[in-house]
Structure 1
Amino acid sequence: MDQTVLSEALSRIDEARIVDLAKELVRVPSVSGEERAVMHRARELLEAVGVEAEFHGSEERPIINAVLNPGAERLLVFNGHLDVVPIAKSDAWTKAPWDPVLEDGRLYGRGASDMKSSCAVMIHVLEILKDMGLPLTVGVHLVPDEERGAAFGSKVLVEKITRGEMRRPDYVVIGEQSNLKVRVAERGMFGFQVKFYGRAAHTAASRTTGI
């Protein structure tokens, strides 16, 4: 993307529009395992701005794939999740979790930070770029199940890409909160089981020597 096109794209950014899109997403409860409604709402928002979006994965936990300019040589994908963690203590909230409020420059609501505001930005990016004639394919993947391991979300996308059922991106931007710092690596996860044999003991209950 040359500097002229980049400057034009940046000049089109509408922060109020991003907030409105984020509010639309926050209003739809989407605890992990219950993402169907928010995925349909996100698809409606994409189609309302003239971007085609399709579902992948299961009917109850769909994945959104939206693409601009599919014929270009290179593909840049923005990836974000729309599921949120459960509300453990509703009485600890000073504002209604599903009724977003903008106050003093901050958006309050469950998922506003992690990461519906970022997903709203991605929708707005496609809205900005859709008529700019970029020599680049730009896509957005909105997924469920990130909070519980991604088996029904990004893992499904990776499997489809590996099988050749979806186009492999050349570049991927994950929109998780990073204090506006570009992060090029992330911790992985490794799980294993270990068995110990012997006499069980705990210092809180017994002075008996254990294993």
Structure 2
Amino acid sequence: MSDSPVLALLKDLISRRSITPEDAGCQQLLISRLEKLGFECEVMVFEDTTNLWARRGMEKPLFCFAGHTDVVPTGPEKNWTYPPFEPTVSDGLLFGRGAADMKSGIAAFMIALEQFIAKHQDHNGSIALLITSDEEGPFINGTTRVIDTLEARNEKIDYCIVGEPSSTEHVGDTIKNGRRGSLTADLTINGIQGHVAYPHLVENPIHSCVGALTELSQIQWDEGNEYFPPTSFQITNFNSGTGASNVVPGEAQIQCNFRYSTELTAEQIVNRVVSILEKHALKYQIEWTYNGSPFITRPGSLTNAVSEAILSVTGLTTELSTSGGTSDARFIAPTGAQVVEVGPGNKTIHKVNECVKIADLEELVHIYRITLEKLLAC
């Protein structure tokens, strides 16, 4: 029995060893199919990253599918049941690195487009694909650079589906209509190193920072809102000491992360943290990394179209959610686009033996195609 079109394409994509920021020919494979559908394909290379912007039509509204061809490293391949870049079907599942995150989304985009355009050659508006090979890595030369280019020429996306694995138990049961902001602090507390037997000659940075860290961990930063849970603060790394039991260290290095709602700005968080460090009279240096601002796509034409498509295909009433980590949607939403993430199950993403349910692939194709029909069919 031959593979379905979406399964065949997904196998081809998985077999390409596209560990971030490598694309390994995935985008050229898509281009060869998109050009046959009448898309104008523009390859944008920034530093080590290959990006694809493909567009069909010039009218409004502009509907975009967005995703990434890069995958995370496999870890020790000996721990995999099947070689991670040799797509293998077993018990109704397709195994391989990128099977869920997110080459399945890209394969489903492509087949949905082929089916939609075959029936609606003269559809309303325009359709685009924004594909990058730098989502799992530093994310500085991928979608954000493409969006900068589009903004510079006033090319605006109206609707966008990012094919990230959003589902939990069944495809379509959850879609992401927003994400929390992410802000990381790398904090160094300075002290004076010396012998533990002479405490009057040392200044222990571990002791010094306990009060400030306790206060930071106990603050209720906000109460969240109807779309977001309250802002959270977590210490993710704490490093200090010389390895000797009789030496007070000279510094402590702490890394912490905030996941914050639209009730706060990054600037407000920074100012409050600094005020607490100053209150505790710490000698410190701090560096901030802004990983993305919070965004929300409120219920409207895009969420309605996707929800109705999911209901018609699966019989499920989908849940709108802002949980989970960041995605490239954070670069697209600030342009004014309505953005949601709709994709397969996320239970095995980044894990050994990553896999996707083959039955979910077909349902995902139908969900994407019906969404297109609801928004762009004549």
What TM-score comes out, normalization by structure 2 length?
Answer: 0.47
Say which of 66, 71, 84 aligns to 1:84.
71
Is 1:71 matched with 2:71?
no
Question: Could you say which structure has the larger radius of gyration?
Answer: 2
Is the 8 Å Cα contact of residues 37 and 114 (structure 2) preserved in structure 1?
yes
Q: Distance in 1 between matches of 2:55 and 2:112?
A: 11
- Equivalent of 2:114, from 111, 121, 127? 127
Q: What residue number does 1:112 align with? A: 99
Task: Give 1:66's aligned amino acid.
Answer: A
d(CA) in 1 for partners of 2:131 and 2:40? 13
What corresponds to 1:11 in structure 2? none
- CA displacement 1:173-194 (0-9 Å, x = unmatched): 1110011212111133223332
SS in 2 for 1:21: helix
Q: Deviations over 1:15-51 (max 9, x none)?
A: 9211111111111110012224222223223335554
* Residue aligning to 1:7: none
Match of 1:194 in 2: 187
For 2:181 and 2:246, the matched residues in 1 are separated by 38
Moved over 6 A (4+): 207-211
Amino acid at match of 1:167: E
Of 130, 137, 140, the residue aligned with 1:141 is: 130
Contiguous gaps of at least 5 residues in structure 2: 194-204, 206-239, 252-378
Query: 2:19 and 2:34 mapped to 1: Cα distance?
Result: 21
Structure 2 residue corresponding to 1:178, chosen from 144, 161, 166: 166
Q: Give the Å deviation of 1:162.
A: 2.5
Matched, 1:206 2:245: yes
- Of 23, 38, 42 in structure 1, the residue corresponding to residue 26 of structure 2 is 38
- Structure 1: unaligned runs, 5 residues or longer: 1-14
CA contact (8 A) 1:57 1:156 kept: no
Contact kept, 8 Å, 1:35 with 1:60, in 2: the verdict is: no
| 8 Å contact kept, 2:64–2:130 | yes
Q: Is the 8 A contact 1:32 1:84 kept in 2?
A: yes
1 CA distance for matches of 2:97 and 2:103? 9
Aligned pair count?
A: 195
Per the TM alignment, residue 71 of structure 1 is displaced from its structure 2 partner at its CA by 2.7
1:64-115 per-residue CA deviation (whole Å, 9 max, x = no partner) reads 11222x1322011111000011121110011111111222221111111110
Which residue in the other structure is 2:9 paired with? 21
Cα distance change, pair 128–60 in 1 and its aligned pair in 2 (3 A): farther
The structure 2 residue matched to 1:53, chosen from 15, 19, 41, is: 41
Of the candidates 153, 164, 167, which is equivalent to residue 155 of structure 2?
Answer: 167
Shift of 1:126: 1.7
CA separation of 1:118 and 1:135: change in aligned 2, threshold 3 A: same
Partner of 2:139: 150
Asked if the contact 1:34–1:61 (Cα under 8 Å) also holds between the matched residues in 2, the reply is yes
Matching residue of 1:93: 80
Structure having the larger proportion of residues in strand: 2
3-state DSSP class of the match of 2:134?
coil
Aligned-partner SS, 1:130: helix
